[in-house]
């Protein structure tokens, strides 16, 4: 057993390497820069490539190209850089190109408070790029989770042919915590499947039982077209309704039909715990705020409140049935977050606005447990 004191950004970089990442393109930006620095050193040692691009737009473009070429690829940034990536994020989504985008959030808007924590990119992760599109966004609340969810981000990306966002925040990125990789439940690494048909039979956007057609990397003798336009099964632009509508159905079904696999979460006092199974108050939290929420819940229980905690590790897709099942019967639902209520909007939509109590902070400081406890007692 080897226990190390590891920074969150370092755990992310190590998780990427464990997942098989072999290409990184990015542009330095606080508070994510350590990810790039570590991978600049480590990728060449395992036969990978690192390149610093001229900006974040070019960074994600290079990542998309490397992925099409067969390499598991990623970039890392923060809010302002993430904004610049949105057009290429939409392209990767429509073209169904696997890649991972790490967003270590900081306070905004604009350049904001570069070294201060925030969770202000939650809605940008879901709707930042234009048009309707599915997306997967994961959100760790500890250093071990950062390592594991980075691996899971690559797995989901390859498994569902989609960009995946790892939505960290400055606290998780820069804090240090004990990490014992040998004691973690490491997920099996998912690699891109090969093809067992001749090149002339291959269609990169064909209908399949899984709704995820296999992607063959460029350079392997399979010639096909990639475009950001709505396309037919061969990848060529189309305006035919009998081709457009099946594509849209499959495009969303590959995510929506697999929520049980994609939606990751943990509960405390909401499932299988008799004394709290009828919680009158439910706290829903994510990221570093979930740490403060867990402490506040323990303090509230010491005062004999019936309270449960739901920690979301998958922010998007937002599982409405999960929220309804675990929080729909509560008298009050507390949603603490370092923004002005971005995820709370989704919770309100499911359980009703009158039930939801928002606990918000946007001044670059963490939400302390006492602030959440005060909201619990007032509720």
Element (H, E) at 332: strand 332-337
Residue 245 within any structural domain of the chain = no
pLDDT reported for residue 379: 79
Cα 335 from chain centre? 19
Concatenating the DSSP letter of every residue in 224-243 gives: ----SS-B-TTS-B---HHH
Average pLDDT over residues 320-330: 94
- Phi and psi, residue 376, nearest 5°: -65, -45
What integer pLDDT is reported at residue 272 of this predicted model?
A: 63
Tally the residues of the chain.
Answer: 379
Q: Are residues 19 and 134 in the same domain?
A: yes
Domain of 271: which CATH number? 3.40.50.920
Is the pLDDT assigned to residue 274 strictly greater than 70?
Answer: no
Instruction: With respect to residue 211, please indicate whether it lies within any of the assigned structural domains.
Output: no
pTM: 0.96
From the list 140, 93, 103, 143, the residue with the least C-alpha distance to 123 is: 103
**In which domain, by residue range, is 113 found?**
4-183
- Tell whether 238 is covered by a domain: no
| 22 and 164 fall within a common domain | yes
Number of domains into which the chain is organized: 2
Please, is 138 exposed, middle or buried when counting C-beta atoms within 10 Å of its C-beta (0-12, 13-18, 19+)? buried
27 alpha carbon, distance to own chain's centre: 20
Q: Which of 124, 154, 183 is the last residue of a domain?
A: 183
pLDDT for 277 equals 52
- DSSP lists the bridge partners of residue 102 as 76, 166
- For residue 1, name the pLDDT band (cuts at 50, 70, 90): low
Determine, yes or no, domain membership for 84. yes
CATH number at residue 139: 3.40.50.970
Domain boundary among 161, 183, 205: 183
Structure tokens at 36: 């790039």
pLDDT confidence of residue 195: 82
The verdict on residue 235 lying in a domain is no
């Amino acid at each position: 057993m080897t226990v190390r004191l590891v920074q969150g950004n370092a755990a992310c970089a190590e998780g990427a390497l464990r997942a098989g990442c072999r290409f990184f393109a990015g542009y330095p930006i606080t508070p994510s820069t350590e990810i790039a620095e570590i991978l600049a050193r480590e990728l060449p040692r395992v036969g990978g490539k690192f390149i610093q691009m001229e900006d974040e737009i070019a960074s994600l473009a290079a990542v998309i190209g490397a992925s099409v070429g067969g390499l598991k690829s990623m970039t890392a940034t923060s809010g302002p850089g993430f904004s610049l990536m949105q057009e290429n994020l939409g392209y990767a989504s429509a073209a169904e190109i696997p890649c991972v985008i790490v967003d270590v959030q900081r306070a905004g808007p604009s350049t904001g408070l570069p070294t201060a924590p925030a969770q202000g990119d939650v809605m940008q992760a879901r709707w930042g790029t234009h048009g309707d599109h599915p997306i997967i966004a994961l959100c760790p609340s500890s250093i071990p989770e950062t390592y594991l969810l980075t691996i899971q981000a690559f797995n989901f990306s390859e498994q569902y042919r989609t960009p995946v966002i790892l939505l960290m925040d400055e606290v998780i990125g820069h804090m240090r915590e004990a990490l014992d990789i040998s004691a973690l439940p490491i997920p099996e690494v998912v690699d891109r499947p090969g093809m067992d048909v001749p090149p002339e039979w291959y269609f990169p956007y064909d209908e399949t039982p899984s709704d995820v057609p296999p992607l063959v990397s460029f350079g392997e003798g399979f010639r096909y077209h990639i475009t950001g336009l709505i396309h037919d099964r061969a990848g060529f632009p189309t305006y035919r309704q009998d081709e457009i509508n099946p594509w849209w159905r499959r495009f969303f079904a590959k995510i929506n039909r697999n929520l049980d696999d994609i939606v990751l979460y943990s509960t405390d006092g909401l499932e299988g715990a008799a004394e709290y199974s009828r919680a009158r108050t439910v706290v829903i939290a994510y990221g570093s705020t979930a740490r403060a929420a867990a402490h506040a819940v323990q303090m509230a229980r010491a005062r004999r409140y019936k309270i449960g905690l739901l920690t979301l590790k998958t922010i998007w897709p937002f599982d409405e049935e999960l929220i309804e099942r675990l929080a729909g019967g509560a008298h009050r639902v507390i949603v603490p977050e370092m923004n002005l209520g971005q995820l709370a909007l989704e919770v309100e939509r499911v359980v009703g606005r009158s039930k939801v109590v928002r606990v918000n902070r946007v001044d670059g400081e963490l939400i302390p447990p006492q602030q959440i406890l005060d909201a619990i007692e007032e509720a």
